[in-house]
């Protein structure tokens, strides 16, 4: 598929950059950052409502992450699937809002394009609550709805699809398969809170073994406490794929905003990231609760 998102002549794509020596910096949180800056990000639409009600703020957050040193910006498509939007009465706007989200991220990426190349990836999360693997839909629904979202992302012009915060093996395989069917590179990222286990209880090693036949460009863990990252590193390393880490600093809740599980200053976060790089990580960034300050300090540390 050819689109404005494709790297220009002579510019490497994400898989090629992952094969290089330098660690790529992923951006930080969008949903909790919207809340931190005063925008509504409540359920059921969560961060998607900002695409209509505060698009310039979404663009500003992307621009701040780009200025902080991110090599990869994640479009605000975490909740632009038809299923989620329908709960807020916007079910017919999935394709439109996915396109808007990618355009806002692309605008920020182009803002610093003269200085360095910044890729835009599309978020493809679980169809239901990220922390409720018991709610994962049936196989037919997974196939149909992940295919629709992946096709919307590809049409919108992302450089790759980030299948993220996966809490079950079954949905991870379905989402990654749908992403790879577009012809785009895709990443597979898992949420692990109890050692090297998904929230479903599946061992991370089993999850990685299940997705590797789909040839992900990289495998990652995300939305886990920083203190749990070290438990996941051996399985990630043993996958023989480029791997990455982007932990959270707490879980977002509809009632209280971010419920912090671990306090981690930008300096402390960067220090942890240096250890993850030493373990072989190719992609480092942040999830819920992280800010442009965390990404700036991380990027500066990696490039010193």
Find out whether 249 and 262 touch, Cβ atoms under 8 Å. yes
The mean predicted confidence, pLDDT, of the chain is: 91
Q: Tokens 């991870």, residue?
A: 172
Sorted by where each starts, the structural domains of the chain and their CATH numbers stand as 16-303 (3.20.20.330)
From residue 80, give the alpha-carbon distance in Å to each of 4, 71, 92, 102, 176.
Answer: 21, 23, 10, 11, 17
- Higher pLDDT among residues 6 and 233, named by residue: 233
User: Phi first, then psi: what are they for 135, rounded to 5°?
Assistant: -95, 0
- Pairing between β-strand 24-25 and β-strand 257-260 as defined by DSSP bridges: unpaired
3-class DSSP state of 130: coil
Per-residue confidence (pLDDT) for residue 5, from 0 to 100: 40
To 5 degrees, how large is the angle CA 216–CA 225–CA 227? 105
Per-residue confidence (pLDDT) for residue 266, from 0 to 100: 96
Per-residue confidence (pLDDT) for residue 9, from 0 to 100: 33
HEC sequence for 250-292: EEEECCCEEEECCCCCHHHHHHHHHHHHHCCCCEECCCCCCCH
Rounded to two decimals, what is the model's pTM?
A: 0.93
Q: How confident is the model at residue 259 (pLDDT cuts 50, 70, 90)?
A: low
d(CA 278, CA 270): 12
């Amino acid at each position: 598929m050819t689109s404005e998102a494709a790297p220009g002549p002579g510019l490497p794509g994400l898989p090629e950059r992952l094969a290089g020596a330098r660690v790529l910096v992923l951006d930080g949180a969008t949903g909790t950052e919207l809340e931190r800056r005063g925008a509504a990000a409540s359920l059921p639409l969560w961060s998607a409502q900002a695409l209509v009600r505060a698009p310039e703020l979404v663009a500003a957050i992307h621009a701040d992450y780009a200025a902080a040193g991110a090599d990869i910006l994640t479009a605000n498509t975490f909740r632009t699937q038809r299923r989620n939007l329908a709960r807020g009465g916007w079910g017919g706007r999935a394709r439109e809002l996915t396109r808007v989200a990618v355009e806002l991220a692309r605008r920020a990426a182009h803002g610093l394009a003269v200085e360095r190349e910044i890729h835009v990836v599309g978020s493809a999360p679980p169809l239901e609550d990220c922390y409720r693997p018991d709610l994962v839909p049936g196989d037919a629904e997974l196939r149909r709805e992940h295919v629709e979202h992946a096709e919307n992302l590809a049409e919108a012009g992302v450089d790759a699809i980030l299948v993220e915060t996966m809490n079950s093996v079954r949905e991870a395989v379905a989402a990654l398969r749908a992403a790879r069917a577009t012809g785009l590179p895709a990443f597979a990222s898992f949420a692990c809170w109890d050692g090297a286990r998904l929230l479903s209880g599946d061992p991370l090693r089993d999850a990685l073994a299940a997705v590797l036949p789909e040839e992900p460009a990289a495998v990652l863990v995300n939305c886990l406490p920083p203190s749990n990252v070290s438990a996941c590193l051996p399985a990630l390393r043993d996958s023989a794929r480029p791997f990455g880490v982007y932990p959270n600093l707490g879980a977002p809740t509809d009632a209280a905003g971010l419920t912090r599980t671990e306090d981690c200053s930008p300096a402390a976060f960067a220090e942890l990231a240096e250890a993850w790089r030493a373990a072989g990580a190719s992609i480092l960034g942040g999830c819920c609760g992280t800010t442009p300050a965390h990404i700036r300090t991380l990027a500066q540390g990696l490039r010193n």
